[in-house]
């Protein structure tokens, strides 16, 4: 059945994030070395060599990390971390009271107002908690922080999910608009990647690198040339 316009596509991908786990990473590197042992010394041109290299990586990652389905909304549930059972129940209760408004009684109107207020509070708290967990996850796993951040930004720009999110500013003020939230995360990463508490000149030893220096393309090329061929991630 073809996908409906705007419907998230069902995608199966390798759980590459599991490479952060030491046992999985060791297994991946071991399997990768075994695959490379069977690669002929001369695989042909660069395209053929890259094909063999890529196939070995994909096979090792598939076996060691496993796969998972992403993109599709299974069971019709909202694809948002804050849509918890508690939030869903609060929203359902509000909708039930809304149906009772047709009775026109003061009790029904009062019940609806309370349920509406309770649902709004549950949603706001759940969204705030989801953003806090998002920030903690990026701080704890710096390897995937950049990818996790830009994936969220792309989802916000599409406007299909998480149209309203909340996060606290540096001064502790709750931000609710998408623009303010995105600006706050931009500010957070600027502070994270450009720390101001750099060592003083007395603390820097004669062999230390200059903190303000930029890495040139020539330096990168030199490091790449010295890197052992076929070395797997995390290998030494």
* 103-139 pLDDT tens trace: 778 888 888 888 889 988 988 888 888 877 777 776 6
CA nearest to 219, candidates 209, 228, 234, 229: 209
The upper half-sphere exposure of residue 226, i.e. CA atoms within 13 Å in the direction of its Cβ, equals 7
Confidence of residue 102 (pLDDT cuts 50, 70, 90): confident
pLDDT score of 15: 84
- More confident position, 87 or 157: 87
Torsion of CA 101, 105, 109, 112, to 10 degrees: -60
Arithmetic mean of pLDDT, 159-167: 53
**Is the pLDDT reported for residue 10 higher than 70?**
no
Confidence of residue 9 (pLDDT cuts 50, 70, 90): low
Residue ranges per domain, the chain? 9-71, 77-159, 161-194
pLDDT score of 233: 41
Confidence of residue 76 (pLDDT cuts 50, 70, 90): very low
Arithmetic mean of pLDDT, 97-102: 80
pLDDT score of 229: 45
pLDDT score of 5: 44
33-53 confidence digits (pLDDT tens): 888 777 666 656 777 777 888
pLDDT score of 70: 67
**Is the pLDDT reported for residue 143 higher than 70?**
no
**What pTM does this model have?**
0.34
**What are the helix (H) ranges across the chain?**
22-37, 46-65, 85-100, 106-140, 142-158, 178-193, 217-226
Q: Is 42 exposed, middle or buried (0-12, 13-18, 19+ CB in 10 A)?
A: exposed
């Amino acid at each position: 059945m073809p996908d409906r316009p705007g419907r998230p596509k069902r995608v199966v991908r390798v759980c590459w994030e599991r490479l952060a786990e030491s046992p999985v990473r060791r297994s991946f590197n071991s399997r990768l070395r075994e695959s490379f042992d069977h690669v002929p010394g001369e695989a042909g041109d660069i395209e053929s060599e890259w094909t063999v290299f890529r196939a070995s990586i994909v096979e090792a990652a598939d076996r060691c990390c496993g796969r998972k389905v992403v993109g599709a909304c299974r069971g019709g549930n909202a694809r948002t971390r804050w849509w918890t059972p508690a939030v869903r129940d609060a929203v359902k209760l509000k909708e039930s009271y809304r149906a009772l408004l047709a009775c026109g009684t003061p009790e029904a109107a009062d019940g609806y107002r309370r349920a509406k207020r309770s649902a709004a509070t549950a949603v706001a708290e759940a969204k705030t908690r989801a953003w806090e967990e998002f920030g903690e996850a990026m701080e704890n796993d710096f390897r995937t922080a950049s990818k996790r951040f830009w994936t969220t930004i792309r989802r916000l720009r599409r406007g299909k999910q998480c149209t309203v999110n909340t996060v606290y500013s540096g001064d502790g003020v709750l931000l609710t608009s998408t623009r303010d939230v995105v600006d706050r995360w931009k500010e957070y990463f600027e502070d994270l990647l450009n720390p101001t508490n750099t060592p003083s000149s007395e603390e820097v030893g004669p062999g230390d690198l200059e903190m303000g220096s930029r890495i040139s393309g020539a330096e990168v090329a030199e490091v790449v040339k010295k890197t052992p061929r076929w070395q797997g991630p995390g290998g030494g």
